[in-house]
Structure 1
Amino acid sequence: MADAPATPGWTHVYSGKVRDLYEHADHPALLLVIASDRVSAFDHVLEPGIPGKGALLTQLTRWWFGRLAVPNHLAVVDTGGPTLPPVPAELADRAMLVKRLDMLPIECVVRGYLTGSGWAEYRESGTVCGIPLPAGLRDGDRLPGPLYTPAFKAPLGEHDENITFERSVELVGLDRARQLRDASLAIFAAASSIAAERGLLLADTKVEFGADPATGVLTLGDEVLTSDSSRYWDAELYAAGGPSRLDSFDKQIVRDWLAAHWNKQGTPPALPPEIVERTAARYRELLTRLTA
């Protein structure tokens, strides 16, 4: 599954659904994170991948890192420190050299609008992740205020488990749980404002944090505010209220096609070329809309 770097010294240590991690024997405090073109849905990695997806995700993550007032895990050149190991040239557009963090077992989800799994739960119980909401809301409605709804990170291939804030306190302690909540809400607020300037609504997002092993400082890791971790809508289409108002700039096209053509038993079918290209186009459009 992993993309093997050609540069000697890098050893593959882990592959997730989308990213591959490598370590370097001479630089134990660093990791090489490579975003692949793999695409997943319903806990399955699908075939084929989305061409260029890894580079698009990496470029957008780097762009957001430069605009958020939160420490992140990108490794930077220190003129007084050791030389950083080289990144394989053929993977540079989708690779990040990062500091190794003590990752926390919580996915920090912030929801600004009622949709997706939150909408499904609301229809059944009037709540989102157990948090009561006013009656009469519709799919896509803006919430009274952003909701912080943490989840426990499940092993690869299993569903993450929505948890209460109180459960997150049990997992990481009160001070750290508060830091996670406050940092996540601050990121959502800042990103929502930036997206709005570009005609986009940030409906929800997921971020992950770790602790810097040397300082203990809470540090943003993994990807941030990309099509794979966040749901964006076109603000003009949303305001118009038509059938396209909740079309998102992500792999929803893949999910919809798979739901209509697969019963979630056995191996998923291969994605048709049209679905692959339409999905790639949505990824590219989001990057252009945000960064142009």
Structure 2
Amino acid sequence: MSDALPGYDLAYQGKVRDLHVPAGQDLASADAILMVASDRVSAFDHALEPPIPGKGTTLTSMTTWWLRTLGDEAQLAGDHGPGGDALARIPDAVAGRALLVRNLDMLPVECVVRGRITGSGLVEYRETGAISGVVLPEGLQDGDLLPEPIFTPAWKAPKGQHDENIPFSRVVELVGADAAETLRSRSMDVFAQGAAIAASKGLVLADTKLEFGRDASGAIVLADEVLTSDSSRYWDADALDAGRVESFDKQIVRNWLLSEAEAGRWDKRGVPPVLPASIVEQTAARYAELLERLVG
């Protein structure tokens, strides 16, 4: 693990994000958590090398902008605006790529909403005719618009294990009927708002992954990253109309890894190959362009 920041102890290091707690506190009882977005990139449940320059700052800016745009800033601890008290508590070493957030009891469900069929959803559809138990029309092709957005949750596996697509009935078993319905309805609402705003910027929001947690009162709060280029697929609308998919996310990385697998240079299980400089540069540029398109 990396060294702790001044005034904080490193409590958890994920593939992409690190969680720090005020010195002397622990993750279970900390009054606030410093969530730091690194420049690390992951794909197919693997952490990759080298990092993508500027990625952490870009994703943090995107999450903050979406939370404010959606009017859903409940996960933030303190004021993250210019001169806000939260910013004063963020060490200079991670300024711009860290958020001070409330301590939530995270729910073990990744709330995926799909407006178009692609990626792992397409693979499952071709095998079963459904995604997470949601039966879809026959004959759908990669990138096709679904009749309506669908909620296709996944069980959030412990670190080192693969997430698993699950039917809604399994979500009910995991969190209870009321909470499951809240997760579905709020996820669908966030996706609808995000897709409409993206469309106004000439973008297509193909799908997204959201996470939620309970606060001290038991209320369910939107958490972690929101509608970023790591958690969502964004495509250029004009290019899609012309029959091309131009993505603003880490699909560039996924495509390169798939090409390495198809060429027999990676088995999708062992240590993944090192990303070439050209892929790193292209990905960084697309992340930055998406933020500019959205925020201006």
Query: What is the one-letter code of the residue matched to 2:68?
Result: G
Once residues 23 and 11 of structure 1 are traced to their aligned partners in structure 2, the CA distance between those partners, rounded to angstroms, is 5
Is 1:193 the counterpart of 2:191? The answer is no
Give 1:169-184 correspondences, 5 Å limit.
Answer: 169-184=172-187
Summarize the Cα distance change of 1:240–1:77 in structure 2 as closer, same or farther, 3 Å threshold: closer
Summarize the Cα distance change of 1:112–1:235 in structure 2 as closer, same or farther, 3 Å threshold: same
Q: Is the 8 Å Cα contact of residues 4 and 20 (structure 2) preserved in structure 1?
A: no
Query: What is the one-letter code of the residue matched to 2:209?
Result: K
Q: Deviations over 1:14-42 (max 9, x none)?
A: 01100000101477210000000001122
Is 1:117 the counterpart of 2:120? The answer is yes
Once residues 26 and 268 of structure 1 are traced to their aligned partners in structure 2, the CA distance between those partners, rounded to angstroms, is 37
Once residues 154 and 273 of structure 2 are traced to their aligned partners in structure 1, the CA distance between those partners, rounded to angstroms, is 29
- Which of 185-194 and 151-160 deviates more? 151-160
Once residues 176 and 71 of structure 1 are traced to their aligned partners in structure 2, the CA distance between those partners, rounded to angstroms, is 20
Match of 1:278 in 2: 282
Match of 1:267 in 2: 271
TM-score normalised according to structure 1 size:
0.92
Once residues 3 and 237 of structure 1 are traced to their aligned partners in structure 2, the CA distance between those partners, rounded to angstroms, is 44
Once residues 87 and 122 of structure 1 are traced to their aligned partners in structure 2, the CA distance between those partners, rounded to angstroms, is 44
Query: What is the one-letter code of the residue matched to 1:52?
Result: G
Summarize the Cα distance change of 1:145–1:24 in structure 2 as closer, same or farther, 3 Å threshold: same
SS at match of 2:108: strand
Match of 2:89 in 1: 86
Once residues 273 and 295 of structure 2 are traced to their aligned partners in structure 1, the CA distance between those partners, rounded to angstroms, is 34
SS at match of 1:209: strand
Q: Is the 8 Å Cα contact of residues 74 and 97 (structure 1) preserved in structure 2?
A: yes
Task: Indicate which of 226, 230, 236 corresponds to 2:232.
Answer: 230
Summarize the Cα distance change of 1:177–1:71 in structure 2 as closer, same or farther, 3 Å threshold: farther
Query: What is the one-letter code of the residue matched to 1:112?
Result: G
Shift of 1:77: 4.4
Query: What is the one-letter code of the residue matched to 1:250?
Result: D
Query: What is the one-letter code of the residue matched to 2:48?
Result: L
Summarize the Cα distance change of 1:96–1:134 in structure 2 as closer, same or farther, 3 Å threshold: same
Flag as ranges the 4+ runs of structure 1 deviating above 6 A.
none
Match of 1:37 in 2: 39
Q: Is the 8 Å Cα contact of residues 71 and 218 (structure 1) preserved in structure 2?
A: no
Query: Which structure 1 residue ranges, 5 or more long, are not aligned?
Result: none
Q: Is the 8 Å Cα contact of residues 3 and 20 (structure 1) preserved in structure 2?
A: no
Shift of 1:157: 2.0
Q: Is the 8 Å Cα contact of residues 2 and 20 (structure 1) preserved in structure 2?
A: no
TM-score normalised according to structure 2 size:
0.90
Q: Is the 8 Å Cα contact of residues 111 and 149 (structure 1) preserved in structure 2?
A: yes
Give 1:245-264 correspondences, 5 Å limit.
Answer: 245-261=244-260, 262-264=266-268
Once residues 90 and 256 of structure 1 are traced to their aligned partners in structure 2, the CA distance between those partners, rounded to angstroms, is 33
Match of 1:165 in 2: 168
Query: Which structure 2 residue ranges, 5 or more long, are not aligned?
Result: 261-265
Shift of 1:119: 1.2
Query: What is the one-letter code of the residue matched to 1:259?
Result: L
Task: Indicate which of 196, 220, 223 corresponds to 1:221.
Answer: 223
- Which of 97-106 and 260-269 deviates more? 260-269
Q: Deviations over 1:76-107 (max 9, x none)?
A: 249xxxx7672101211100000000111111
Q: Is the 8 Å Cα contact of residues 101 and 211 (structure 1) preserved in structure 2?
A: yes
Once residues 9 and 163 of structure 2 are traced to their aligned partners in structure 1, the CA distance between those partners, rounded to angstroms, is 28
Summarize the Cα distance change of 1:26–1:269 in structure 2 as closer, same or farther, 3 Å threshold: closer
Match of 2:2 in 1: 2
Query: What is the one-letter code of the residue matched to 1:284?
Result: A
Match of 2:108 in 1: 105
Q: What is the aligned residue count?
A: 282
Once residues 126 and 95 of structure 2 are traced to their aligned partners in structure 1, the CA distance between those partners, rounded to angstroms, is 45
Once residues 38 and 119 of structure 2 are traced to their aligned partners in structure 1, the CA distance between those partners, rounded to angstroms, is 25
